[in-house]
Amino acid sequence: MTSHVSGARSGAAVRSTERTGLGSGWLVFAGVLMIFGGLMMLLQGIAAIAHDDVFVTTRNYVYEFDLTAWGWVHLVMGVFITLAGAALFQGATWARVVGVVLTGLAMLANFLWIPYAPFWAIVLIALNAFVIWALCTAPSPEER
């Protein structure tokens, strides 16, 4: 009798998971990392826009842009990555594809950002690599 009750609970949990569209711990992992990573990029962008003198600029850098321009790039990408991460919690299928594309672009932007904040940029590159991995390995709705 107790096994029947526990089976009913797990069935309700499966139906609840299907209804929300999460279905996998990897999607939750990716969503949380996207939200935190997006917020970190957003704050990094605000710092670059508000106080250019916070960051050390290097001379003779191949991808040299104005630091304020980099700030706007990080700010906009941070907003979009945070929103896409939140959309994963709503079960939006498009959020997986958008998440992979945006985090790939964020990896590129952070690679180009390395001369300004090396440790921070490398941390965000690694975080974005984990997000892409989690989004790509999570089972699709058809597999659940």
- Please answer whether residues 138 and 91 qualify as being in contact, where contact means their C-beta atoms are separated by less than 8 angstroms: no
- Domain of 90 in residue numbering reads as 22-137
User: What is the number of structural domains in the chain?
Assistant: 1
Instruction: Determine the pLDDT at residue 61.
Output: 66
User: What is the C-alpha separation between 108 and 82, in angstroms, rounded?
Assistant: 17
Question: How far, in Å, CA of 85 to CA of 34, rounded?
Answer: 5
Residue 143 covered by a domain: no
Percent share of the chain, pLDDT over 90: 41
Average model confidence (pLDDT) across the chain: 80
**Residue 71 covered by a domain:** yes
Instruction: Tell me if 9 is assigned to some domain.
Output: no
Q: Tell me the C-alpha distance between 139 and 128, whole Å.
A: 19
Q: What is the largest CA-CA distance in the chain?
A: 74
On whether residue 80 sits in a domain, the answer given is yes
Distance CA(14)–CA(10), nearest Å, equals 6
Measure the CA–CA gap between 142 and 79, rounded to whole angstroms: 30
Q: How much is the pLDDT for 53?
A: 64
Of the candidate ranges 18-22, 59-63, 79-83, 133-137, the one whose mean pLDDT is the lowest: 18-22
In a domain, residue 6? The reply is no
Query: What pLDDT is attached to residue 141?
Result: 62
